[in-house]
Amino acid sequence: MKIGTLAKLSGVPIETIQYYERAGLLSNEVRTGSGRRDYQTKAVAQLHFLQQCKAVGLSVEETKLLAEMNLQSDLNDSQRRTIRSKLDVVRNRLLDLSALEQRLLDMLEQRA
């Protein structure tokens, strides 16, 4: 699929897709004979994963490492520790968001 189609399906702007390519975060892109990008369907899922990593504040380096691990069939102990560490980051972010949600709900109830 062309980059415009990928952008529409994933909800990620073309410029961001191109940035992810340059940063080595997006794989499986093939060039046609005319030099145009031709993306596989799984690129949509890859972009969603990258956007999720970005949303929780992971760095480009952390995201790249996780994206590479996501494509592997097996993980070693070090990789598993890394993933557990990032899982802790995500869980802490969820706790923070839950606390903010409650605070906002309290504000609405107090001013009803």
Which pair of structure tokens corresponds to residue 29? Answer: 């892109």
**Cα 79 from Cα 71, distance rounded (Å):** 12
Over residues 42-68, mean pLDDT: 93
CB atoms within 10 A of CB 111: 6
pTM: 0.80
CATH number corresponding to 3-110: 1.10.1660.10
> What confidence tier does 27 reach under pLDDT thresholds 50, 70, 90?
confident
Q: Rounded mean pLDDT of the chain? A: 92
Please work out, in degrees rounded to the nearest 5, the angle formed at the alpha carbon of residue 34 by the alpha carbons of 28 and 36.
40
| pLDDT on residue 36 | 83
Q: In the structure, what pLDDT confidence band is assigned to residue 112 with cuts at 50, 70 and 90?
A: confident
| CA gap 15, 33 in Å, rounded | 23
CA gap 83, 76 in Å, rounded? 11
**pLDDT at residue 90 tops 90:** yes
- Relative to beta strand 29-31, strand 37-39 is antiparallel
Q: How far apart are CA 56 and CA 99, in angstroms?
A: 15
